[in-house]
Structure formats: C-alpha cells, structure tokens
Structure 1
Amino acid sequence: MVYQARTVSSSSSSPRAAHKASTSHRAPKRGQNAPKGPKKRTNRKKGMWWKILLGVLGGLLAIGIGLFTYLYVTTDIPQPEKVAIAEKTTVYYNDGTTEIGSFSEQNREIIDCSVLPDYVGNAIVASEDRSFYRNGGIDIMGMARALYNNLTTGSRQGGSTITQQYAERYYLGDTTSYSGKIREAILAMKIANSQDKQQVLCNYMNTIYLGRGAYGIQAAAKAYFGKEAKDLTVDEAAMIAGIIPAPSMWDPAVNPEQAKSRFTRVIGIMREDGYITGQQASEAKFPETKPVSVSNDLAGPNGYLLTTVENELVASKAFTKDELETGGYKIVSTLDPNMQKIMQTVGDDRPEGMPESIQVGGIALDQKTGSVKAIYGGSDYLKHQLNNATQANFQPGSTMKPFGLLGAAMDDVNFNTMFNGNSPERFETTPGTWAEVPNALNMSWGTINLKQATANSVNTVFMNVNQHLTPKKFAQIAHDAGITGDIQEDTLYNILGINSLTVWDLAQGHSTIANDGTKNTLHIVDRVLKGDKEMYKPNLGTKQVFDANDCMLVQNAMLGTTQYGTAAGTAATLGRQVAGKSGTANDETAASFVGYTPSLMNVWAIWNPGENGESQIVPEFAGYGVSSTGYPSHLFTEFMAQALAGQPAETFATPVDNGKIGGPNGDWGLGGQRYVPSTNNGTQQQQQNEQQQDSQNKQESNDSNTSNESSNNGDAKQNEQQQTTPENTKSPEQSQPENGNTNGNSGGGTGGNNGSNNGSNNNGSNSGDSGNSGNQNGNGGGNSGGQNNTGNGEQSQR
C-alpha cells in the first residue's frame, strides 16, 4: 500500500491550528534558545517573593496598627512633669508690691492666658504649627519629612506640632529616641481629643523655654521687654515667637539678623493666615529689646533677706525648700522698704580706718507684733554668705544685764536698793571658785542703786544681783524672754554676757521686755499667697511671760543709759525717750547696743573674727573705742534718726515700784545700809560727789520710809506718786566713778552731759564703757572728760 501525503488546506482548519502547524516546524534563529520553559519558572519565583514581601509588609502594618491601637488605648495622660509646671516664688516687702527677689529652679510665672491678646497665641501658632487649629495633634507629612531627613542625613529634624511639643515638655520631659517620639505622638493625639485647643496653647506658652533664662511667655516678656505678657504688642509677640526653635542662638542680642528674619517670617504668616491685617503687616517693625543682663537675685544685700525668708518658712514646716522654689508663691514679708534702705545705708557706711575684718550686724523690729522691719546681714551675700543678723555669733556682754534686773523686780526688790559699786569685788563665781571681778577700767562707783548701776553698767553690782538671783534662774529668765542660745547655768559670769548669741536672738529676748512682758516670736514673713488664696500666716506664739509692771521698771531703768549713762546724749540727739543698754564682750572682742522707743527696737553689734573664726580685739578706729560701745550706739542713733523722722515722740509708761528696799528679806545689796565709802583715793571733786551721793541716799531713805506701807520686816513699798526716777535719783555728776583727776571728773560728768548742750549737733560725750566719747561731736570739755573718766566700761569675764 502506498501512502500519500495529506495536504491540509488553510481554509479548512482554524487559524489557531494553522498557526500552531506553521510554527511548530520553524527553525530557531541564530543565537536564540528555543526552549521557553525555564523562563516561566523564574517569573513564577519572582511573583512568589513579591507576594511574600507584601504579606510581610501587610503583617507588619497590621501589627503596627494593632500595637498603635493598643498603645493609644492603654496610654493615659500622665501628671504634668514637675519641672514643666515649676514657677518661681517671689518675695515682696510689706507693701505687697515692691519686689525683693525670687528663688526658683526655673524663671517661670504661670499666667491665665485669657488676659493675653489673641495675637500673642496666634504669633506662636504662625511660627510653630500653622495647622494647629486643624490637626489632630500630629502632622503626618511633617513627621514623614523629618523621618526621611533623619534617615538620609543622620541629623535630627523636628516635625513636631505644638501639641507634640506640649506633650513632651509638659508630660514626658525631653524625648529624642524613636520610641520616645512614638509615645509623644500617641500622647499628642490623646491630648488633642481630650483637651481644648486653647488649653493646649496656653499650657504650651507657659511651658516653653524662650531664652534669657525665661520659661513661659510671662517671664519672656519681662526678660526681653520689661513688661507683662498681657501688654505685649503684635511686633513684640512676633519677635518672641520667631526665636522659639533656638532662643539662645537667635536672641536679638546674639544674632540680630536671624532674629529679624524670623520676625519677618512670622509677620508674613500671620498676614497670610488672617491673624493680622495687611496694614498691620506693612507697619510691623522689629522691636527693640532690653540689654541682656546676667542678674542674680541673691547678689548684694537681697540675698540676706531672701534666705532669711526661705529659712523661716522651711523651719515652720509649712513648706519644703523644693516647694518654695517650684510653687510659684507670693510671699509678703514684714520688711519695710524705707527702713531696710536706711539700715543698709547705715551699716554699709563704714568710717575711714575701720578694719575690713570687723563684722556688723543689725536688726529693727516692732516689739508689739514681733514684725522684723529691717536687717543688716552684710553688704553682699555672694561675697559673705554668713548672715550677720541671723547666723553669726558674738558675745553680747552687758546687754544681758537687763534680764538680771528683771529678775530683781520679779523677786520684789526695789530699784532704789543700794549696792556696793566698788571695783574690784570678790565673788564665788562658780561653786568653790572665788575671783575678783572688776568694773570696766577698774572704776569704783561707791554706793549706787540699781537704776544707776544699769545706766552706768556696773559689773560688781550685777554680779551681786546674780548671787541672789542664781545663775540658773538668770538663764531661765533669758530663755523665757525668747533667747534660744545656750546660757551657762553654773557661773555668776553669765549675767555679764559670756555666752555667744546672734543679733536676732538678742533682739528676741529684749523685745519681750520692751513689749511689757508679752512675747511674740520674731518673724520676717507676714503671709504666703497662691493666687488669691492665703496659704500661710505665721504663728506668733503670743504669750504673757512676765509681769507688765516688772518689765516697765526695767524699761524705766534703761532710760538712764541714753540720758546720762553709757550712751549719754542719745536721747537728746533723737529728741525722744529711748531705753537702751550697751554691751562689750570679754577681752573687747565685740560690742553691741540694744535700744528702743515704745514702738521701734533697733539692735546693732560689731565683732572682729580672725581668719579662722577666732575672736580678736576690736581696735579703736575713727575715734571709736570698743569698750565705749560708741560705734554700735552711733549706728543706732543714725538709723533711728532717719527711721523715726517726722514721727511724734512717744513716752514710756510710768511703772510703780512696789518692791522693798533690800528685797523681801532685806538681804539684797546693802540691805538697810545706805552708803559705802570709796575704795580708791578720790580727788576733792570725787569727795564732793560722794557727799552729795550720801545726802541723796539719806533723802531717798526718808522718802521711802515716809511713803511706803509698813511690813512685818520693816520694809515698805513706795507708792506711785513718790516713785523716784533716774532723773531725780542721781545726776550724772553724782554717779562719778572714783578714779581720775579733778578735770577728768568734771569733764566726764559735767562735760560728758552738758557737752550735749555745747557740742555740735547737740551731742555730748558718751560716758561709755571705756569712757570714750560715744559721739565725736561734743565740745572739748565733753570729749576730754569723757575720754578720761566718764561712764563705766563694762566687760565680760576678765
């Protein structure tokens, strides 16, 4: 059988079949591999990888969305960072408006933004986040741009909205890591959904750092323009807003061109976004800022005032130091701005020749309330951080004697009781130990009563008083008066002020006597406010600790100090009654003066510490000798003359001395004896003085016997009408010490007192502790007599 080839017509088959037939036998082109199978397998693999990649990405996205959702749901808005809401506490004088200074961790004042013009907030929106009022707390495009730049350049670019910046500063603190930024974004979204935009913007404005140490818009307004934020102009608000990204580098004082460029940008955006008109934009002018000042509120004397205020509040346990530095309180002090200025000027005005090592401390107060009106802690706190008014110690010397005098009044001893004022006298100073105790310059005063002994500060008389009183009771009286420092209870010398105290402590004790026995705790803080709410008032601890009449007797005796005693002439110079007491420390290492009118007390002290804090003698300078306590009484006179200028003179109440001559048992002082002869070889003038003194004593005795009621032991109490006063008890001439020549006595007595009438400025010599002139303005007789022989020097244990 023969087979023939079958011919297939193209017309009788499908195009697909024809195509298949025609191509199945086509020879491959040169260089071309005919098989196609392997290429199809490669494409399938690539497709598989894309599916895997998309699946992974989708999974990651799902995980991310899930994680983001979880974080959003579980993230709570935390409490604000303490540092974010910390604001400075400001201290004011007693007028409540004159600022002393502040203490703070950050210079921030949180304000109610409703008082701000709208353009202040709008300027910040224009500078930092134009979409603020529209976005949901984050800006996706901004974050994407920032992320891209961070990944490609390695630098950090901010893409944060105002809400994100607010979340970071107000709640989180600084965040730089990606995880921190994610949390920041989540918190920003949460805040945007839960807080009003105006609340967010206000908190942001109160939180943001704006340069020059200023946190918040209020502090910045003061730092750059010296005004409150509510008073900022459009131009000023735009300038501050423009430098927010880099306030220190773009401060106009540092980089004026960049600051102006940023200002122009903000003004332009505010115009574009409708926050200001075209006219406002065209009239905008870069504002002039204050010069940069590096200030420290503790510099100068203010540091002493501020730290005293802070220490008092911390000691009260009403506030911690940290609370005061972050709480934004308004503290109104008791300090009087005028008196503080006077006190600082008086304390700083050191006479020529006064050694730099000599320290000065002072305080002024209202003894009726315990309110401190002024303190002198030093000239510059940053150079000398030990407060000379509240912290530094010195020996007060004879300024402690009035507490012993008060003890005598409490023991029913009449102040006309006579004592032996000769020098030296022998005492059992501690159990089993006897010592001779001198008066200053070893001056003898013969027979002298308690009032005269107080005015002239006679050591031997007060040692005798302490024998009867006992050192323990003396210490108790001083502590009851408010003195907190240690006082030895086992030595008679404690009445001579051998234990160190602060000026504040000494003033506290004397203020109780000056306030008729009512103790008020000295304080420098009047009240603390937070907004309009009063947060603190001091507890004065007001308490009647002594009989009022007993204290008035002490005040009355202290009047003699400034009339004819160790600070003679002080009352005449001031033209008013002044109770006072001078004091000199052991070995003349310190001197002090306590003085007061019925409404104002002033205390000054000087001392001379060595390089290692050891006590040194205060040398004479500018005519002042330490034993005269002339310089502290000079400071007192200078301060009081200015502080009381224009105020009417006040008089002290007249007390009734119902005590018994010689005390209840007649064993105080000389008892019934009325005269002790001089132990020194006196001059003719001194003998005349002693005769006058004896006559005066006899007259006093007769007056006392006539005017007092009889008692079982024969003693009597004087009635008020026949009360003997320092002025008529014994004149300065009759109180002469028993050393010196005729001229010296005459000068010291007559010149020392009458010099006040003859010397310039109506000031005579001061019959001070060493006999030096307490005021250098007396005439020749006053000065000469004073320097040779007037007055009684007081000293502590020798």
Structure 2
Amino acid sequence: MGRADERRARQRGSHRGAPRRSSKAGGKSGIRRFFTWKKILGTFFGLCLLGMAAFVGLYLMIDVPKGNAAAVQQSNIYKYSDGSTLARDGEVNRELVDLDQVSKEVRMTFVAAENKSFYGDSGVDFRGTARGLLNTLSGKGKQGGSTITQQYVKNYYLTQDQTVTRKLKELVISLKVDRQKSKDDILAGYINTSYYGRNAFGIQAAAQAYYGVDADELTVAQGAYLAALLQAPSQYDWAVATDTGKKLATDRWNYVLDNMVAEGWLSSGKREGMKFPVPENPKGAPGLQGQAGYMVEAADSALMKQLVARGTAADLEEAETMVKAGGWTITLNIDKKKQAQLEKSVESQLTSKLDAEKRDVDADVQTGAASVDPKTGAVVAMYGGVDYVKHYMNNATRRDYQPASTFKPLILAAALEKEATTQDGRPITASTVYDGTSKRPVVDDGAKVGFSPPNEDDVDYGDVTVQTAMNKSINSVFAQMGVDVGMDEVMKTAGELGMDVEGVKSVPAQTLGTMGASPLEMAGVYATLDNHGRKVTPAIVKSVKHKDRSVRFTDAVGEQVISREAADTVTSVLTGVVDDGTARTSVRENPARGSQLVAGKTGTSDCNKSAWFIGYTPKLVTSVGVFGEAAKAGTTRCGKEKPVKVKAFSQVTLQGAAGGGRVNGGGFPAQIWAAYTFGAMDGVSRFDLETDQGAAVRPTPTPSATPAPPTPSEEPSSEKPTTKPPSSSAPESSPEETPSDDAPTSPSTSPTSSPPGGIELPEDPDDPQGPAE
C-alpha cells in the first residue's frame, strides 16, 4: 500500500494502517526530534548569556553607596509606663582603630575564622552566595559562606535583611569595593564594624569588654576568641553561655588557631602552648547605672525574643543585631512610683544594714525582686541588684538559685487539680492529715522511695493538717504529698503555672524546690494562682515603636491552666502562712498592713544560699529573693561541713549577714515585701475566692491524737467562703508556748491553740540546713 492509499484508508476510518516505521531504520521519535543536543546546548548557552547580560546590567546600575544608617547606630529610648523617659541607650560603644594598631597575628585570626582566601580572592564567594540565594528563596533562613568583603559590605553599606535583592546588591558592591579598596582597608572596616556582643561594636570595644585591654594589647589567643565570637556573640559569651555554648565557643577557638597553623600564619610550637583565654566577667555599659540598666536589659531581651517569635528575625543573634542597631522607642510596664517604692524598701530593710568592712559576708548579699499585676501580667517594678554598672547580673531574672519552699504551693495545686489521694485513699485537701515527723521515709504503694527529708532544725511535728504543714513549711509532709500526687503530675502542673521545668527530673527531691528559678518567673507562677488559675506570663514591655517595623506582643494573660477552685484553695491556704506561719512577724504584724488580707510563702534553700518570700494581694504579686554570691574568691562552709574553696560569683551561704544568724524567708525577704507592698497599695482589696477550704475561710483545727482517715462527712463543710480580712484573733501558734511531749492536743478551733508536736516551734522553719537530697 502506497502512502496515498494509506491516507485514503485513514480517512475512511479503516483500521488498516501502515506498519510503524522502526526507529532503527533511521526514524526519530517526536521527543527526540524536539530535544536534540544542539537545542539543549543552545538553550544552556543562551541562558548563560542572558544571566551574564543581566549581571553586567546590575553591575552598571548598582553603585557603591555611602555608609547607611545601620553603620551609624542610633539610640534606643526607654520609657516608664506613664511615658516619662527611663533611659537612653545606643550611643554606640565603638572606637575606630587603624589596622596597624592590631598585631598582624591577631588580624589573621579573623581571616582564619571567616575567609582563609581573603587576600587572594575577588571579594566574592560565588558558591556561598548562590547557596545563600537558594536558601533564601526556599525559606531555609540565612546561610554562611560570605567572604570578609561581603560581610563588611553588609555591615557598612547595606542591612541585615535576608532578601534576594539585598544579596544581589551585596554581590555587586563587594566586587566593586574589592577593586576600589585595598584588602587591609576592607579588613580594618570589617573588624571595626562587626558586633561582638556585650554592646561592643568594633575590635577596640570588644577588647575592652572581654579582656579589659586595648586592641594593640590583645594576644593571639584572645584575638582568636574575639574572631570566634562573630559567629554567635550571645551564645559564645563565656559569662552567660550554657555548657553547650562554651563547648561550641571552645571548638570554634580551636578551629581558628588550627587554620592559622595550616596556613603558616602561626607556628605549631606557639599553638601548642596556648590555653583558652577565659574572658573577664562583663560590666554594665556607662549611663545605665542603678536599676535602669537591669530594666533596659530585660526589655531588650523581651523584644529580641518577640522578633524571633514573629519571624522578623531568624534567630536571637539576628534579633540582637536589629535591637542594638537603634531607632527603637520601648515603653515598659514599669510604674515609676512602684519602682521607686521597691528600691526604697530594699534599701531600708536590707542594704542599709550591710557593712562589708565589718563583715565579709555582707559583701556576698544580693537581692532580686519582681512585682506583677495579676490581672494584666504587667511587670510594674523590678529590682535587679545594687547597681547595673557594679553588678551586671540581673538578680530578678537569674535562674541559678533554688526557690526552696516557695515550690510547696505548686505541689498542693497539683494535688487539688488532679483530685489526688493519699496512700490510703483519702482525698488531699487543706484538712487532710499527714505525718509531719522529720526524716520520715517517703513511701509509694507501700515501698520506701529512698527519700526522707529532714524538717527545719529536725523538728518532729507529729500528725498535722495540710494547712498547718503549709504554715510551718514542713518538708516531710510535702515530700510525701508529691509522691502521692505523682512527681510527673507535680512537674507538669508547675510547668503549666509558669515554671520552666524543661529538663528537670521528676524526682521526690524536687518537692524541696531544688531546681533553679528566678524571682520574675516565680512572680508569674503566683500571679497565675492569684488570677484564679488563668495563666499569667510577666510582661515587662508595654509597647514598641520603630520607624521601619512594628512589633506586636502576645497577650500576657492566657488560658485557664488549673481550675479556679484549685487556684483559690491554694490562695486560701497561703493566707495561713502570713497569719499563722513563717511570715507572721514580718507581714501580719506590720503596722502598715491595716486590714489587707495577704497570701504568701517563705523559702530558704540548703546551706542558706537563698531566702525567699513571694506574697500577693488581689492587685499585686511580688517575689523577693536574697542570694548569697561570693564577692571574691575565698572559702565557705555549709553547716558543720569543712570549708571549701569557691571562686568569685559562686553561690555561698548568707549565714551571719547584717550581723544576724540564719537569713530566713520570713526575715529580710518578707520585710522587703511588706515595706514595698503596703507602701504601694492603693486601698484595701479583697480576695474573691471560690473555695470552702483554707485559712482564708476558717481556722484549721489541730488534728486529734489518734487521727483516722476522714469519711466524707468529716470533710470541710460547704459553708460559703469569706473574703474579709482576719480579725485580731486570727489563728496563731506562739513560739513561746511549749506543749507536752506527748501526742498532739485535741481538736480545737481556738485561735490560741498550742502547736502540735509537743515542742517549741522555730520562728521560721523553712528548709533544712543541710544539702537537699
């Protein structure tokens, strides 16, 4: 069949068709006819030519600009909540130095760290730039690989924004700058414009901030650390770095020096003799004296975290650069009058009584405090230390001291929220009876768990109610209660209330508050209780303005994290600590109190390294911590243990401070709290409690000599709670009374009933003197 016949057959719909022609016979398929090697190569070269033409166009269009605003840093303005100025910060801590003021070996540490081919390249790493562009387009964030020239261009001519446009400009300008300037000028510009952390811009400021020397006095080891810092200033700052951060900093330091040896810039002999140069502890920036520096630091930290949370910055390093660039107006929630009252209270109740010339221990006393509005979460006052310039660490936000017995209310909150029961099946309430014998082994399902904590001064209380155990801060009771509830549930509730419990083990020893916590953190936890179980996250920043961007903060008051009844019951129980417990003398009997009802809890950690009082009214929650921090290297002891050597800034005992004995939570911390709170109150406020348990409702009776598991009829009656303040006949256990050594006395609702246990009660029985188990 010829081709004409085949065509006619197809037109008639015939199924007869010509047989397919084999490709082997020389025919080409449709795809192969379309994609030929000539066409593919032509297309590739065409795209290359277009790319080259586009790049040439960009090169001709983009000029090297003048140094931009990011290179000439602005001040940040910080305001009180009423709009008045608190502080100005941001006069850039920078002093430009010529390259010949930095030794050649120190200069080369930066080259070894960032760009070994610096002196021979064209100023651009095309592969690294392409990788950065691809990551930007794919949303993977910023990517390393830039040359020193590119980083200098970004610092001085451009911005830190991670966009395709900025990266293309960086590429073109870097090529031009490399042709227009010498390599030494570029390197000088790079080390002078880079940010090293500690508010230090440039190598001269960094040398002073980390080693207290000028740039021309830096050793190679010190220079290698500063060069390593540029990768992650906050993470690698030795004074605040985590163990992981210190390891990364050390690894980076070694990497820099090893590169120098490999390139022949440092002899292997010198390298082997070098030890890691631990930097000095940081000092506050000038102009931020007193409490201003602490508040500015806390506000900056909150802003940086929010920039990351909102996606404005890729990480905290980038956020820090943005904040330190200046141009921000930050209004804090700090109330000017309350702040002044808090500072005055710390001065009158504690610091005025310290004399380091007479007593060495007085130099070791540090105070931190935070005050929060439980309805809004606003941090209305903060005390970070004696002076930001003299003591850089913010005592209000530091988390390295144990909160001790201030953790006990969280155990009770967990018990009430989870409707937990004792080992014999009794519901845990304010009236539940526990054995308060010191060092009583904690049991779980009939078996000992290997934990038997002593009470303060090893006091045996016998059978006591939960209310009395909270009033007297009885360790043995709450250790058992924690196991009854389940330590996993206790730690979960603590986290829901606002404690940072990530990585904290759920073991019985945590019932003594052996994890770390800050006064600000604990103020948030107690504010959540005060706010009837709705989560309160302390917020120091009220609002932020910037000419280029806006930042919206998350609401400080969140969802209900525990039931209102559970939270209100804990509040009711905590009023007993003030009226009949460890805070009685300092708070209840304070003449400025008037008729204000107060809830709170004391805490004193092992070896008396920290002492706390966290108290609240319906309108104000304030956490006060007094900490023992070695002012200089020396020796310290814990109880009867042998003296041990400690470094400066180590945790040490407060014993003997201000010429007294043991510093208890019911002492200086409670006194500071009372002077501040009763001076800052705007009239008397009432707790609105939905509970029928606790001291705010009615006095807790002393248990009978032979307590039995209560039946439902023996649980507290359903009488309506009261929010009225206690009368002058509020429940009280006088330490002067000494009941017999026999079994506890009979139940009594008399406010003057004797304390259980048959011994005289100490004034402030918080936690044991010995180390927590």
1:675 lines up with 2:675 in the alignment:
no
Aligned to 1:619: 655
* Aligned Cα root-mean-square deviation (Å): 4.5
Is the CA contact (8 Å cut-off) linking 2:491 and 2:501 kept in structure 1?
no
Could you tell me how far 1:474 is from its partner in structure 2? 1.0
Deviations 1:97-120 (A, max 9, x none): 32322235389xxxxxxxxxxxxx
- Whichever residue aligns with residue 410 of structure 2, its letter is F
Is the CA contact (8 Å cut-off) linking 2:365 and 2:657 kept in structure 1?
no
Query: Alignment partner of 2:583: what SS?
Result: coil
Q: How far, CA to CA, are the matches of 1:468 and 1:98 in structure 2? A: 52
1:640 lines up with 2:677 in the alignment:
yes
Aligned to 1:479: 495
- Whichever residue aligns with residue 654 of structure 1, its letter is L
Deviations 1:264-285 (A, max 9, x none): xxxxxxxxxxxxxxxxxxxxxx
Aligned to 2:667: 630
Aligned to 1:339: 338
Q: How far, CA to CA, are the matches of 1:477 and 1:737 in structure 2? A: 38
Q: How far, CA to CA, are the matches of 2:516 and 2:343 in structure 1? A: 24
Q: How does 1:437-452 map to 2 (within 5 A)?
A: 437-452=453-468
Q: How does 1:198-213 map to 2 (within 5 A)?
A: none
Aligned to 1:378: 385
Could you tell me how far 1:594 is from its partner in structure 2? 0.3
Q: How far, CA to CA, are the matches of 1:727 and 1:457 in structure 2? A: 21
Aligned to 1:425: 440
Query: Alignment partner of 1:426: what SS?
Result: coil
Q: What is the aligned-residue identity percentage?
A: 24
Give the gaps of 5 or more residues in structure 1: 1-69, 108-169, 174-178, 184-293, 660-672, 678-693, 746-751, 755-766, 769-784
Q: How far, CA to CA, are the matches of 1:736 and 1:449 in structure 2? A: 18
Is the CA contact (8 Å cut-off) linking 2:441 and 2:449 kept in structure 1?
no
Is the CA contact (8 Å cut-off) linking 1:420 and 1:676 kept in structure 2?
no
Distance 1:466 1:475, change over 3 A: same
Q: How far, CA to CA, are the matches of 1:89 and 1:414 in structure 2? A: 52
Distance 1:312 1:394, change over 3 A: same
Aligned to 1:310: 300
Could you tell me how far 1:72 is from its partner in structure 2? 14
Q: How far, CA to CA, are the matches of 2:651 and 2:64 in structure 1? A: 61
Which residue, 337, 356, 362 being the options, matches 1:355?
362
Aligned to 2:579: 563
Q: How far, CA to CA, are the matches of 2:609 and 2:285 in structure 1? A: 37
Is the CA contact (8 Å cut-off) linking 2:597 and 2:726 kept in structure 1?
no
Q: How far, CA to CA, are the matches of 2:679 and 2:722 in structure 1? A: 34
Is the CA contact (8 Å cut-off) linking 1:444 and 1:739 kept in structure 2?
no
Aligned to 2:248: none
Aligned to 1:414: 429
Could you tell me how far 1:408 is from its partner in structure 2? 2.2
1:599 lines up with 2:615 in the alignment:
no
Distance 1:429 1:302, change over 3 A: farther
- Whichever residue aligns with residue 619 of structure 1, its letter is Q
Distance 1:347 1:791, change over 3 A: closer
Q: How does 1:388-537 map to 2 (within 5 A)?
A: 388-412=395-419, 413-428=428-443, 433-486=449-502, 488-530=504-546, 535-537=551-553
1:650 lines up with 2:685 in the alignment:
yes
Aligned to 1:81: 68
Deviations 1:689-725 (A, max 9, x none): xxxxx9xx99xx8xxx8xxxx6xxx776631338999
Could you tell me how far 1:365 is from its partner in structure 2? 1.0
Could you tell me how far 1:297 is from its partner in structure 2? 2.7
Q: How does 1:702-713 map to 2 (within 5 A)?
A: none
- Higher helix proportion, which one? 1
Is the CA contact (8 Å cut-off) linking 1:378 and 1:384 kept in structure 2?
yes
Q: How far, CA to CA, are the matches of 2:544 and 2:616 in structure 1? A: 29
- Whichever residue aligns with residue 584 of structure 1, its letter is T
Query: Alignment partner of 1:307: what SS?
Result: helix
Q: How far, CA to CA, are the matches of 1:464 and 1:676 in structure 2? A: 20
| Number of residue pairs the alignment of both structures matches | 472
Deviations 1:514-542 (A, max 9, x none): 11111122111111113698543344361
Is the CA contact (8 Å cut-off) linking 1:339 and 1:374 kept in structure 2?
yes
Deviations 1:292-346 (A, max 9, x none): xx99332332111111111111112256222223341211111111122222233
- Whichever residue aligns with residue 471 of structure 2, its letter is A
Aligned to 2:129: none
- Whichever residue aligns with residue 425 of structure 1, its letter is R
Is the CA contact (8 Å cut-off) linking 2:666 and 2:764 kept in structure 1?
no
Could you tell me how far 1:90 is from its partner in structure 2? 0.8
Aligned to 2:772: 797
Is the CA contact (8 Å cut-off) linking 1:429 and 1:435 kept in structure 2?
no
Distance 1:736 1:298, change over 3 A: closer
Could you tell me how far 1:734 is from its partner in structure 2? 5.5
Q: How far, CA to CA, are the matches of 1:303 and 1:442 in structure 2? A: 43
- Whichever residue aligns with residue 493 of structure 1, its letter is A
Deviations 1:47-85 (A, max 9, x none): xxxxxxxxxxxxxxxxxxxxxxx9999676948623466
Query: Alignment partner of 2:584: what SS?
Result: coil
Distance 1:478 1:172, change over 3 A: closer
Q: TM-score, normalised by structure 1?
A: 0.52
Is the CA contact (8 Å cut-off) linking 1:592 and 1:605 kept in structure 2?
yes
Which residue, 281, 285, 288 being the options, matches 1:298?
288
Q: How far, CA to CA, are the matches of 2:669 and 2:752 in structure 1? A: 19
Could you tell me how far 1:473 is from its partner in structure 2? 1.2
Could you tell me how far 1:440 is from its partner in structure 2? 0.9
Q: How far, CA to CA, are the matches of 2:72 and 2:610 in structure 1? A: 48
Could you tell me how far 1:398 is from its partner in structure 2? 0.5
Q: How far, CA to CA, are the matches of 2:482 and 2:724 in structure 1? A: 23
- Whichever residue aligns with residue 633 of structure 1, its letter is A
Query: Alignment partner of 2:382: what SS?
Result: strand
Q: How far, CA to CA, are the matches of 2:436 and 2:158 in structure 1? A: 77
Is the CA contact (8 Å cut-off) linking 2:609 and 2:651 kept in structure 1?
yes
Is the CA contact (8 Å cut-off) linking 2:544 and 2:551 kept in structure 1?
yes
Is the CA contact (8 Å cut-off) linking 1:740 and 1:789 kept in structure 2?
no
Give the gaps of 5 or more residues in structure 2: 1-56, 95-155, 160-175, 181-283, 314-318, 356-360, 420-427, 634-646, 695-701, 745-750
- Whichever residue aligns with residue 414 of structure 1, its letter is T
Deviations 1:535-554 (A, max 9, x none): 43344361110101210110
